[in-house]
Amino acid sequence: MILMFNLNYYVGNMKFEIEFFGHKNIRSTHKNTIEITKDEHLTTNGDCIIGVNANYSCNDLPISLKNKLRNSFSIITVTIIVNNISFHIVGSGNQSLSFTDKNDIVLRKSNYVCPRTLAINCNKASLSIPRIMIKSLQNPTTRGKFIISVE
């Protein structure tokens, strides 16, 4: 008897950690997205951005992680940690994710996909992040962790 199965449906567990920093202009008031960026500067118009000077963008992510994130059956959990406070976002992967943006990583409540998108159909946006965490992130010396877990 020969057993066959489709490996595309098996994702397995994987974690990847990104470091970022705060900025005085962080507002985190957007209703649909959360973003971190490798950029150093931020205007108050970037109301979904929670961190700057990130050490990775979508383009920089390992191929093995990108492949797991491209599975539409993937469950993606992003944990943001700042000063021992953690915040969890759950979303899903999609086969159309390209991960080609060289500056940013965006989590979306919608199913919109562009080169900056890491996860879609997320359960939370930047407006949901506790204000005590955002207050800390308004200090440029504050470090944060953006931990991506894929199941």
More confident residue, 113 or 5: 113
Q: What is the pLDDT of residue 12?
A: 57
CATH code at position 126: 2.60.120.630
Domains contained in the chain, number: 1
Over residues 34-91, the pLDDT tens digits come to 999 999 999 999 999 999 999 999 999 999 999 999 999 999 999 999 999 999 999 9
Instruction: Report the length, in residues, of the chain.
Output: 151
- CB proximity list for 103: less than 8 A, separation 6 or greater: 37, 38, 39, 57, 116
CA 28 from chain centre, in angstroms, equals 14
| pTM over cut 0.85 | yes
Residue 46 to residue 109: CA distance in whole angstroms: 17
CA 93 from chain centre, in angstroms, equals 12
Over residues 5-38, the pLDDT tens digits come to 333 334 458 999 999 999 999 999 999 999 999 9
Over residues 121-132, the pLDDT tens digits come to 999 999 999 999
Residue 5 lies in a domain: no
Q: Which domain holds residue 19?
A: 14-150
Residue 6 lies in a domain: no
C-alpha radius of gyration, the chain, whole number: 16
